[in-house]
A and B are shown apart, each in its own frame.
Chain A
């Protein structure tokens, strides 16, 4: 796949369709590629990579890149393409300035998970269903399925939803992803248990803001929590409960716009399952307003910013899915 991508990117650079390519650059180790912009075939040949550790979602970078002169070529995996569509819906990206190549995906690896089973990694390659890891302390074979990013274990869709061309065959939406299983477990808890669960998770937050800054739905030029003049700027939480509020407010702010791309949970250095907050909102929206997937279609109106006569009454208390 990597070679096909490089070849196609070089062609599009050569014929002037695009002036730059957004992709992934080879890292120090096998598992740490960095998103990067390439402006020539030579640059691509030198550093461009695409493999199972290229999990990062490139869509958000196009806010900046689509403001530059000329078109940018971007490679989008299925989940990344939902983010891009959502950013188009929010008028954050100029579609005319982006050339999208869709790439099929069968799951990306989580470096932290691999590392937790293989200390001292020197190389790691996927072969079919397994990951062969060479370490300083010997070789280890891991099951690929056990090393996937959380979002990939419950992939909602293998379909690239916006593209100018596809490399390889496009996939389909996966209605049986089971991505709400954990949300259901949380719903089944007593309020006290649930409170304990979230206090346990959120109290571990170091407020590095990685979750917010990586989030394609968090695209404000300046976050209210960063603005010294907002009155709610929050460089540190005054008490441990305020830390929870940051996350709950953020989840509300992205409700109906979060595509469940899973980046927040991928980047959290404390491994807090932030996606569960967002999935709860998605699940509730599905339940009360009908199935809705943010980013499935550019320009779609999210239930929370729309009105239909069938909408549920906000003052009716819903419990366990019924009135």
Chain B
């Protein structure tokens, strides 16, 4: 394990940023806007906010991304491959929940057929996680077996009043830490006290006892047919906020854009909450908002675990709890459907 004093953290950032792009959470203007990831700049202040408003999935699965270009010349169509090798980059301060979300995205994008856009970004990205000193009431990562005191990633970090401890978990992480001269050696158990303190707080979180017993691949028909979906979805505005802020929502649409000189094909985030989601030639498979709403939660709590050895498709980051305009979210869904259904 390595350590650096908090007063030298900036020097540490500068050293990383000298060789590659470094992103870190910073305050997003006025206080109530919370934090966002931004490229490091001289004087950037690392935000210790418990989580960013937008998730870290944006780094690997951006909202919009160009895929190919077509040029037409009479009956000739030229297809241009515009993919290019990404540059190396580091994301600092990823929380355990977001770090766990990468595994969920990986299982979708890195299994055959591999998504080369995503793969390229993953290969070039190095993730430095930060243990959560101050989890908040909307946090329920532990419900999905995620330990906020022991975040994954290439390098895990812990922060105390005056020191940041860093532990490399991969070769890539090892190499980065070795390149930072301001780091000092620390005992392997130096962060244990911090971890214990975090676990004490985690144990007091109001959502820590949320039960997943009623969910999973084997509960499909019972949950699908529940009449509770009607009241759960009645106020849903069909905006896509919950899906866009969610670190594990992974659906996209592919569209063509006529530039006037040719076609640019791009993909962009899609939302199962939208009326044109999975629109086919015959029309839409889900014609009511109740069905679209149900899709989002069935995917996370039933379909995904059914295809992935029981792993749920939610990491408990709490973003949908904070951002939904009508305050409907996965916790309310789980509690309502779970009632008397274990």
A28 proximity list for chain B (CB < 8 A): 207, 321, 329, 331-332, 335
**Which residue of B205, B234, B322 contacts A115 across the interface (Cβ within 8 Å)?**
B322
Instruction: Judge whether B145 is part of the interface by a CB distance below 8 angstroms.
Output: no
Given A120-B136, A214-B237, are A270 and B53 neighbors across the interface (CB < 8 Å)? yes
Distance in angstroms between the alpha carbons of A136 and B133 in the assembled complex: 13
Within 8 A of A (CB), among B171-230: 201, 204-207
Instruction: Judge whether B30 is part of the interface by a CB distance below 8 angstroms.
Output: yes
B30 proximity list for chain A (CB < 8 A): 271
A135 proximity list for chain B (CB < 8 A): 137
Closest CB of chain B to A199's CB: distance in Å? 14
Whether B63 lies near A236 (C-beta < 8 A) is yes
Distance in angstroms between the alpha carbons of A31 and B329 in the assembled complex: 13
Distance in angstroms between the alpha carbons of A27 and B201 in the assembled complex: 23
Distance in angstroms between the alpha carbons of A61 and B233 in the assembled complex: 13
**Which residue of B54, B235, B241, B270 contacts A210 across the interface (Cβ within 8 Å)?**
B241
Residue of A210, A212, A228 with most partner-chain B CB within 10 A: A210
Whether A36 lies near B234 (C-beta < 8 A) is yes
A27 proximity list for chain B (CB < 8 A): 327, 332
Distance in angstroms between the alpha carbons of A256 and B219 in the assembled complex: 51
Distance in angstroms between the alpha carbons of A204 and B53 in the assembled complex: 11
Whether A136 lies near B204 (C-beta < 8 A) is yes
Whether B257 lies near A238 (C-beta < 8 A) is yes
Number of interface residues, chain A, beta carbon within 8 A: 50
Given A28-B332, A238-B257, are A34 and B327 neighbors across the interface (CB < 8 Å)? yes
Instruction: Judge whether B245 is part of the interface by a CB distance below 8 angstroms.
Output: yes
Mostly, the B contact residues are loop
Instruction: Judge whether A224 is part of the interface by a CB distance below 8 angstroms.
Output: no
Number of interface residues, chain B, beta carbon within 8 A: 55
Residue of A61, A111, A120 with most partner-chain B CB within 10 A: A120
Whether A236 lies near B239 (C-beta < 8 A) is no
Closest CB of chain A to B142's CB: distance in Å? 14
Whether B326 lies near A208 (C-beta < 8 A) is no
Distance in angstroms between the alpha carbons of A260 and B52 in the assembled complex: 29
Whether A213 lies near B332 (C-beta < 8 A) is no
Whether A237 lies near B332 (C-beta < 8 A) is no
Distance in angstroms between the alpha carbons of A35 and B234 in the assembled complex: 8
Which residue of the partner chain B has the closest CB to A137?
B134
Instruction: Judge whether A110 is part of the interface by a CB distance below 8 angstroms.
Output: yes
Within 8 A of B (CB), among A8-61: 27-29, 31-37, 56, 61
Closest CB of chain B to A30's CB: distance in Å? 10
Whether A112 lies near B32 (C-beta < 8 A) is yes
Whether A269 lies near B53 (C-beta < 8 A) is yes
B28 proximity list for chain A (CB < 8 A): 204, 271
Instruction: Judge whether B12 is part of the interface by a CB distance below 8 angstroms.
Output: no
B275 proximity list for chain A (CB < 8 A): 222, 226
Distance in angstroms between the alpha carbons of A34 and B333 in the assembled complex: 12
A236 proximity list for chain B (CB < 8 A): 63-64, 255, 266, 268-269
Whether A208 lies near B279 (C-beta < 8 A) is no
A206 proximity list for chain B (CB < 8 A): 54, 63, 244-245
Distance in angstroms between the alpha carbons of A119 and B329 in the assembled complex: 19
Which residue of the partner chain B has the closest CB to A119?
B136
Given A113-B32, A120-B136, A208-B241, are A56 and B276 neighbors across the interface (CB < 8 Å)? no
Instruction: Judge whether B323 is part of the interface by a CB distance below 8 angstroms.
Output: yes
Within 8 A of B (CB), among A212-266: 212-214, 222, 226-228, 233, 235-238, 263, 266
**Which residue of B137, B231, B253, B327 contacts A235 across the interface (Cβ within 8 Å)?**
B253
Distance in angstroms between the alpha carbons of A137 and B137 in the assembled complex: 11
Chain A: residues with CB nearer than 8 A to chain B?
A: 27-29, 31-37, 56, 61, 110-113, 115-117, 119-122, 135-137, 204, 206-210, 212-214, 222, 226-228, 233, 235-238, 263, 266-267, 269-271
9 sampled A-B residue pairs with Cβ under 8 A: A28-B321, A122-B137, A207-B63, A210-B240, A213-B238, A213-B325, A235-B268, A267-B325, A269-B245
Chain B: residues with CB nearer than 8 A to chain A?
A: 28, 30-34, 50, 53-54, 63-64, 134-138, 201, 204-207, 231, 234-235, 237-241, 244-245, 253, 255, 257, 264, 266, 268-271, 274-276, 279, 321-323, 325-329, 331-332, 335
Q: Which 4 residue pairs of A and B lie closest in terms of their CB atoms, listed nearest first?
A: A236-B268, A267-B325, A32-B327, A210-B239
Beyond the given A32-B327, A208-B241, A227-B276, please list 8 additional residue pairs across the A-B interface where CB-CB is below 8 A.
A34-B235, A34-B328, A115-B136, A116-B31, A214-B325, A235-B255, A267-B325, A271-B32
